Chain A
Amino acid sequence: MSEIAVESFPRIRTGAKVRPVTQDAPVTRYLLIATTLVFSLTFLFAPLALVFVEAAAKGFSVFLEAFSEPDAIAAIKLTLLVAAIAVPANLVFGLAAAWSIAKFSFPGKSLLITLIDLPFSVSPVVSGLVYVLVFGAQGLFGKWLSAHGTQVIFAVPGIVLATIFVTFPFVARELIPLMQEQGTVEEEAALTLGASGFTTFVTVTLPNIKWGLLYGVLLCNARAMGEFGAVSVVSGHIRGLTNTIPLQVEILYNEYNTVAAFALSVLLASLALVTLGIKSFLEWRHADALAAGGGRH
């Protein structure tokens, strides 16, 4: 009886390598890894590297000269100004939105969550056009605005508004799941211990979301400085006045001033690299903090 039972199983070959069932055959593995590598080298890394190569093509002095151009300086200043307004604004809006979504329940909550995503799903050009329709000379508030001597479209306020719109989701999206997961129980504990609402926010809520918040601000900032579509529509491309770095790059490129165009691009690309670097660092810190169940000091 027992002999038959043993015989009906395939013999186990001694010395044969046993592969875990979740691991694919070596060929499949190498093929997948190679595909991913080739793809990312060709389409992600090579273009980025080319930016730096092109910028340095005619020597370092030419590269530096591009930055002494008054229009370039104006563009850099404007970009910094726009980010300096849009990022803090979205920090406040994002916090408020995440707070209300995560900690309260109210009618229309899911609609609000969907609305926050709107800037991600709408083409930036469309959002730029919407601002023209609302604030432009022929737009909804155009008459009222020009009567009060304010110009929004083809001026700095329009660029700031369009940037705020496009970058709105970054902070909020980062914080909503985080705050939802954390719930309100620590805040309630603080309240029973006598802390006021504001004290609770500063001493309990903020430390709990600081990494997520920083991460959201970083992404928001990168996008605010790099936004092209929406800003392009509302800016009017007035040199030295309403051109941000991305718009200036396009103008220079269209004028076949490749070195200057790539020099400014280097600035944006570096921003992207620094953002990615800090983002990875934060993720590492964040994961560490999460694993320890809280931040280290």
Chain B
Amino acid sequence: MLGPSGSGKTTLLRVIAGLNAPDRGRVYFDGQDATNLPVQDRRVGFVFQNYALFKHRTVGDNIAYGLNVRPRHSRPSREQIRARVAELLKFVQLESLGSRYPSQLSGGQRQRVALARALAIEPRVLLLDEPFGALDARVRKDLRRWLREVHKETGLTTIFVTHDQDEAMELADRVVVLNEGSIEQIGTPSEIYDQPVSPFVISFVGEAVALPVNVEAGRVTFGDRTLHIDTHGLRSGPARVFFRPADIAVATNGAGELEGRVESLRRTPAGVRATIAIDGYDQTLEIDSPLDQAAALGDRVPLSLANARIFTVSDTKTDYVDAGEGI
């Protein structure tokens, strides 16, 4: 579940876990209505944003907690619990830290303890609330890779909440994009990238530039220029064209749909990123170009669009048209 802060990701996750009650709608686990099931009986493995480890218990006791609080008749024996804890500690690669207290661990280690604790109860679904939010970039990357392996090994349905699009795109089979409490789009990472259904999705997932245009009988105009974008019957009126830095390039034949002036150049690992002030538009846009084609500062360059998307200003999803290849 991907969305900016305040978009309702965590709330939705808590509703699934049974920590919050939904105003409307129902929660199903494997086709079975769980809406009125108390949180204790849902068997969800919840990993909280700040880990929520029991700070007065050792790592081992934290992991064993879910087994120790079971009613007597279904509680495993002491030996079984100990064995399970050892197994989980090994699984999260913290074998030697079972008798430490959470405060004596690093953030990444705490995160893994939280996951082991959630896995101890053999959950039906694993719910992760921004689990890497408080960690530095490097640890995040390692844990991300590790989490993928965990998922592969356990085969557990896992719902991962994040505001980091890279994280979502890397980890997820399916991405749910949320905005202001409602779901904007559900799809595979490719679908989210290539077929965004709303201006929000295209601007939140990856960088995008929005160009105000006018649609008149199937013709898209920006100022006095005509953009070659298929409107697929979009109704006439003001609209916006969205494109990503990769979708715009310096026109090689010299005649572009847009023209602008190079304001600044910045070296990136792949090439050069140029900031360009477009004629007739008060904002700048950025394009990536390979090293050998780099223009000089102050140059006027013709630009051509590929793969732009157009949405009417009302932003309703039904008005969406994937304009596909624009020439």
Q: Point out residues on A near B: beta carbons under 8 Å.
A: 185-186, 188-196, 199, 203-204, 207-208, 292-295
Contacts and interface: CB of A to CB of B under 8 A. Distances in A.
Given A193-B69, A193-B120, 6 more contacts: A188-B52, A192-B18, A193-B65, A193-B66, A294-B55, A294-B102
Interface in B53-86: 53-57, 65-66, 69-70
A205 to B, nearest CB: 11
A181 to B, nearest CB: 12
B117 A193 contact: yes
Contacts, number: 74
Contact of B19 (A186, A192, A193, A292): A192
Majority secondary structure of chain A interface residues (helix, strand, loop or mixed): helix
Contacts of B311: none
A194 B102 contact: no
B101 A189 contact: no
A294 B103 contact: yes
Interface in B238-271: none
A122 B53 CA distance: 42
A185 B102 contact: no
Given A189-B54, A208-B56, A294-B55, A194 B70 contact: yes
Contact of A203 (B18, B19, B69, B101): B69
Nearest to A191: B39
A195 B69 contact: yes
Contacts of A193: 65-66, 69, 117-118, 120-121
Nearest to B101: A294
Contacts of B50: 185
Interface-centre pick from B17, B50, B65, B70 (highest chain A CB count, 10 A): B65
B48 interface: yes
A32 B280 CA distance: 71
A204 B65 CA distance: 10
10 contacts: A185-B52, A186-B52, A186-B54, A188-B46, A191-B40, A194-B41, A195-B69, A203-B69, A207-B56, A208-B55
B43 interface: yes
